[in-house]
Structure 1
Amino acid sequence: MNGMSPDEVARMREVVAHLSEYAEHLEKGWKVETTDGEVKLVAMSPNLPHGTNARIFREQIEAQTPHVTAVNDTDMTDPVTGLEKVPDLMAFVTGDVDPQADSVDPRAVLIVVEIVSKTNPKNDLVTKLYDYPRMGVPVYVIVDPRDGTIGVHSDPKPGPDGIRYRHSVPCMFGDTFPAGQWTFDTSGLIRYR
């Protein structure tokens, strides 16, 4: 992680492991994520529009690329930065990830899709937009059911402000757009009430 020693990264991973074990026993779905030395316990409270929108993207990924696996709400841990995230949806070449692994290496991931939550939009719109390019995620799609907007972010490259996505394309619900090796039809996406 930024400026953390190997001992600090190791200690952070211990904290994450203990907190993750604790989170598994809580009543609602909770996951652990990290950002620059901070450990966050994140409530997983997807509603029907959230889940439906993730399913729409997952089905299109799997239909267009049968050799790719798309999974929801699965741990992703970066061995380079030490960052840990739980994307709403990520996809990777099926043979590139051990199906018995506890976590996916983001450098094997082809695309991440996040459905912005009603209660914590900053996590997807700011924090993950900052962290995913540093983790090596090549394409990050942000779907915002609050206002019907979509942001397609790609081409992570180092620059004076760190590793950032160098291309960002705005879209709207109802658009058909390319992202990575896929073309997504968003006519079926559902906005929040």
Structure 2
Amino acid sequence: MHEVVQHLSEYAEHLEKGWKVETTDGEVKLVMMSPNLPHTTNVDAFRNQIREQTPDISAVNDTDMTDPVTGLEKVPDLIAFPTEDVDPQAESVNPRAVLLVIEIVSKSNPKNDLVTKLEDYPRMGIPLYVVVDPRNGTIAVHSEPKEGPDGLRYRSSIPYAFGDVVPAGKWTFNTSGLVRYR
């Protein structure tokens, strides 16, 4: 499957708009990457706070993440990892080195962030998953991945609203400047 993803990724690079390839349980998806201004503004707000609070942590957006254990491939909106734990010349980041993933829910495909990635990220070793939903002004912090009857899932999910101060792992996010979709 990795070869199929490689081939599709090369194809996606030549398409008119930004397309990326993601996988979930044997399924390969070609995902359109066309963030709007509220989406990008929200990503920047979180990235800036990560960099201010933890200068030794890299915070990058729209970067391929490939899990050698599950074979899953994702392109998160924002990931944070210890700079020294990732090869800056690598084609993809190993999610087992990632401390935090933040996804800004898209208007066109909210299920991908709210359901699919909520199931896949704990399986990929992501300890902390923050979902920001500009459609309704909510934030959910998912943590404590644990094996259960339905497989590996986040045991803790804490809801917040835009404007709240949101603790997430080693970070505390001021969300008063987040932007909602119209």
Tell me by how many angstroms 1:177 deviates.
1.4
SS for the counterpart of 2:2 is helix
Q: Distance in 1 between matches of 2:165 and 2:11?
A: 41
Structure 2 residue runs of 5 or longer lacking an equivalent are none
Other-structure match for 2:46 = 57
How many residues in Structure 1 have an aligned counterpart in Structure 2?
182
Other-structure match for 1:118 = 107
Runs (4+) off by over 3 Å:
none
Other-structure match for 1:131 = 120
Within the candidate set 169, 178, 193, 2:167 is matched to: 178
User: Following superposition of structure 1 onto structure 2, how do residues 1-193 of structure 1 map, counting pairs within 5 Å?
Assistant: 12-193=1-182
Q: Distance in 2 between matches of 1:183 and 1:98?
A: 27
Q: Distance in 1 between matches of 2:42 and 2:166?
A: 15
Q: Which residue identity lines up with residue 192 of structure 1 in the other structure?
A: Y
Q: Which residue identity lines up with residue 108 of structure 1 in the other structure?
A: A
Q: Which residue identity lines up with residue 106 of structure 2 in the other structure?
A: S
Tell me by how many angstroms 1:160 deviates.
1.1
Q: Distance in 2 between matches of 1:89 and 1:103?
A: 14
Structure 1 residue runs of 5 or longer lacking an equivalent are 1-11
Write the deviation string for residues 56-112 of structure 1: whole angstroms up to 9, x where unpaired: 000000100010000000000000000000000000000000000000000000000
Q: Which residue identity lines up with residue 145 of structure 1 in the other structure?
A: P
SS for the counterpart of 2:99 is strand
